[in-house]
Amino acid sequence: MHRPLADEIRPKTLDEVVGQRHLLAPGGVLRRLIDAGTDANMVFYGPSGTGKTTVANIIAEKTHKTLYRLNATTASLQDVKDIIADVGTLLAPGGILLYLDEIQYFNKKQQQSLLEFMENGSLTLIASTTENPFFYVYNALLSRSSVFEFKSVPAEEIRPAVLRALEVMKTRTPLPLTWEPEVPALVAQGCGGDVRKSINAVELLCEAAVPKDGTLLLTEADAKALSQRSAMRYDRGGDAMYDAASALHKSIRGSDPDAALHYLARFLEAGDLITPCRRLLCAASEDVGLAYPQAITIVKSCVDTAMQLGLPEAQLPLAQAAILLATAPKSNSVCTGIMSAWADVKAGRGGDVPRELQNVHADSAGLEREQGYKYPHNYGHHWVRQQYLPDAIKNARYYHYGDNKTEQAAKSYWEKIKGPQ
């Protein structure tokens, strides 16, 4: 049976692991725990191909435990019980380390079932997940584990692993193997921080290489084609999607049109129009708001146009909206105003609607009372002083004018009419 190259050259020591220097460099907290022979339960969180399984293998070797692997997408509670049955036998003389991949696919009951074995020392658990464990892993299990975040590996750190894989493949090919100068960098850059994917790409490149002048030449064109669309991590509904949406919104809020276009392009590459449209519409009110009131109308038109056009043409109106919002003057007065008002409502602060504002049609039920409502259009500047808020919060102030030109103009206008507030 064919053994993937990535598995065959998997690092055997912490010094050979590519990336994760924040955890595994000398003095790193995880490095120190492993060197001390830790029995701690752990949760490894991060993208695929960043060394989670490799580090679990090394921990098992360091602690002289028998390593069992389960994938939560297919495993059951019975599988866990079958593993526990080996405790204390010749199959696991030093104890058991269970590596449970994709733990987020275990439901709450299945995760709870692990607690008994973790607490009585029957097994040491290392669970891995590509999703945020604080959303998907049961709290009681998290409280008994240490969470370590594995990060995408930079291309410059992947490149040595690619060169190592190429050297290994040179010993296996029937003809001498050579490659064009930029091939290692293209593979490292094109695999999106995934070391395993980069090693697999090397293997595929070698298998697809065409003999030329008595050698096998790996071309830059083939490297580009093989890694096309691979550099981007995106999982609809997953952390990568929400991170990109957050980055798009915050780039707009931070008035950085270049960053806004970058994160928008990630969604376009993934074929997701819905998520950026929602973010753009939200930012128009949340972060631009009354500093440029027309922005929401323009953005809505851009979004509607994009949804009618579809990709690839949708890129143009959405880019227009992103640039408009990023370069527009900013105000969060709309956001802070409604949040303050809503907080009072949630807290029960309020009271009866003032009689002057009540629905006059209620009087037809025999509740004939003087309403006393003053119709503003009957007064100069279409305004008259009267109370609109309930008595209990009649002096509340939720909206505060922003410091932008538009809101300051409105403030000046009303101060002349109403006087300073």
190-231 pLDDT, tens digit per residue, is: 877 788 888 888 888 888 887 878 888 888 888 888 765 555
Q: What is the pTM of this model?
A: 0.61
User: Which DSSP letter does residue 145 get?
Assistant: S
> 155-227 — its CATH code?
1.10.8.60
Torsion of CA 242, 245, 246, 248, to 10 degrees: 160
Residue 377 is predicted with a pLDDT of 92
239-327: CATH class: mainly alpha
**Residue ranges per structural domain of the chain:** 20-149, 155-227, 239-327, 333-418
Question: How far apart are the C-alpha atoms of 299 and 317, rounded to whole Å?
Answer: 9
| Residue numbers in the chain where pLDDT is lower than 50 | none
* Assigned CATH topology for domain 333-418: post-AAA+ oligomerization domain-like (1.10.3710)
Residue 234 is predicted with a pLDDT of 55
Cα 106 to Cα 102, 119, 129, 137, 248: the distances in Å are: 8, 19, 11, 9, 32
Cα 56 to Cα 8, 11, 38, 60, 336: the distances in Å are: 16, 11, 12, 6, 47
> 20-149 — its CATH code?
3.40.50.300
Peptide bond into 181 cis (omega under 30): no
Phi, psi of 30 (to 5 degrees): -70, -40
Residue 196 is predicted with a pLDDT of 87
- Intrachain domains 155-227 and 239-327 with the same fold: no
Hey, what are 229's tokens?
């669309």
Which residues neighbour 251 within 8 Å (Cβ) at sequence distance 6 or greater?
259, 260, 262, 263, 326
What residues form DSSP beta bridges with 67? 97
